[in-house]
């Protein structure tokens, strides 16, 4: 069982409690519009999280019945973690996603996600070091290593050494994800909007074998004055128990906090954070929770065309998640 972050509580109980509340909430009449443009569609960016089904903040206004949404997004991050004779993670990844969603009804949407991952030595090392220096943050000895290389070394606690290097770089197809999302309740002046979802990931990609993952998520959205708040909870079961020689937990939870501030009719500023429980089992900092924060914006450039962008930074546990990154996405809805 993975170790939970402080104050995270029992995420399984929280998901179950949220599901049990749905019948009660469904009997309350809809009120104010409680969903703005929605959070940035930024999944967890740690190295191990790239092998499994994670929390993606799909918490937006519903797609109309018979309507399609075609979208694409890319998240480019710099990875860095080092402990002598334990691990070295140095490189960059660009995780791209093409998505196609369809409105089965006014409340129910089906979505297919096709991910691609680019592994590279990158070009961001100097920028990341300068960014952290400007903010007075510790670079964790990153400046002592060659810049712009891709290298992953794990020393398993039970023995054995596992490596990735420049021979493992390039563009790779990831695992397909099929999702079903239900807008159960639009909310009222007191109660939040409620969105329930289910996801399944199948091993169709060409990265290290990551197995079949399945999970459920619950999103709440509420407008307070001119601001929108978002809360998401996810629980996944992952079939794969070992990647790159490291034992993994089968169960994983995720938690989303988000705040949206509309600055104009078509533009909103967003601040959000995602927490994932530890992926690895008894493997140093990778058994701890990851904390990632994003700051960015969403812009409705046409009536049904949306653009989003953001900056990413890790918090608290700096060794087990992305060091720094950029996000960009666009989506269009059509009949």
293-325 per-position pLDDT tens digit: 999 999 999 989 999 999 999 988 888 898 889
Residues 6+ apart with CB under 8 A from 128: 78, 80, 142, 323, 324
Average pLDDT over residues 98-117: 96
Q: What is the pTM of this model?
A: 0.84
Tell me: pLDDT of 137 over 70: no
Percent of the chain at pLDDT > 70 equals: 83
Average pLDDT over residues 206-214: 81
Asked if residue 25 is part of any domain, the answer here is: yes
CATH code: domain of residue 304 = 2.40.160.40
Q: Which residue's entry shows tokens 């600055």?
A: 263
pLDDT tens-digit map of 261-273: 999 999 999 999 9
Asked if residue 189 is part of any domain, the answer here is: yes
Tell me: pLDDT of 126 over 90: no
Asked if residue 5 is part of any domain, the answer here is: no
The total of structural domains in the chain comes to 1
pLDDT tens-digit map of 275-288: 999 999 989 999 99
pLDDT at position 148: 77
pLDDT tens-digit map of 28-69: 333 459 999 999 999 999 888 888 898 989 999 999 999 999
How many angstroms separate the CA atoms of 83 and 161, rounded?
Answer: 14
Asked if residue 3 is part of any domain, the answer here is: no
Asked if residue 202 is part of any domain, the answer here is: yes
Tell me: pLDDT of 243 over 80: yes
How long is the chain? 335
How many angstroms separate the CA atoms of 226 and 260, rounded?
Answer: 9
The residue segments making up the domain with residue 92 are 11-334
Alpha-carbon distances, residue 132 vs 126, 135, 165 (angstroms): 10, 5, 26
Asked if residue 4 is part of any domain, the answer here is: no
pLDDT at position 298: 97
Asked if residue 277 is part of any domain, the answer here is: yes
Asked if residue 1 is part of any domain, the answer here is: no
Tell me: pLDDT of 22 over 50: no
Tell me: pLDDT of 330 over 90: yes
Tell me: pLDDT of 220 over 70: yes
Phi and psi at 211, nearest 5°, equal 75, -175
């Amino acid at each position: 069982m993975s170790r939970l972050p402080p104050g995270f509580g029992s995420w399984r109980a929280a998901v179950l409690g949220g599901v049990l509340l749905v019948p009660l909430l469904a009997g309350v009449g809809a009120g104010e519009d409680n969903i703005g443009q929605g959070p940035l569609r930024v999944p967890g960016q740690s190295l191990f999280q790239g092998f499994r089904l994670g929390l993606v903040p799909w918490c937006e206004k519903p797609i109309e019945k018979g309507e399609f949404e075609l979208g694409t997004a890319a998240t480019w991050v710099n990875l860095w973690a080092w402990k002598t004779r334990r691990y070295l993670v140095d490189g960059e990844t660009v995780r791209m996603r093409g998505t196609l969603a369809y409105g089965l009804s006014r409340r129910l949407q089906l979505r297919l996600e096709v991910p691609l991952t680019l592994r590279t030595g990158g070009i961001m090392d100097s920028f990341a070091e300068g960014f952290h220096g400007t903010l007075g943050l510790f670079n964790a000895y990153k400046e002592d290593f060659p810049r712009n290389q891709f290298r992953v070394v794990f020393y398993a606690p039970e023995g054995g050494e596992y490596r990735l290097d420049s021979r493992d770089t390039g563009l790779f197809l990831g695992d397909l994800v099929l999702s079903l999302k239900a807008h159960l309740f639009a909310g009222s002046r007191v109660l939040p909007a409620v969105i329930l979802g289910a996801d399944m990931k199948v091993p169709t990609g060409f990265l290290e074998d990551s197995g079949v993952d399945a999970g459920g998520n619950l999103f709440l959205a509420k407008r307070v004055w001119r601001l929108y708040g978002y809360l998401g909870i996810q629980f996944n079961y992952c079939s794969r128990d070992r990647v790159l020689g490291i034992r993994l937990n089968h169960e994983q939870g995720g938690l989303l906090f988000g705040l949206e501030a509309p600055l104009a009719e078509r533009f909103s500023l967003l601040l959000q954070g995602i927490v994932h429980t530890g992926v690895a089992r008894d493997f140093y900092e990778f058994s701890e929770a990851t904390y990632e924060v994003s700051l960015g914006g969403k812009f409705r450039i046409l009536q049904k065309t949306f653009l989003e962008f953001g900056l990413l930074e890790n918090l608290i546990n700096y060794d087990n998640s992305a060091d720094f990154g950029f996000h960009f996405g666009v989506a269009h809805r059509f009949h």
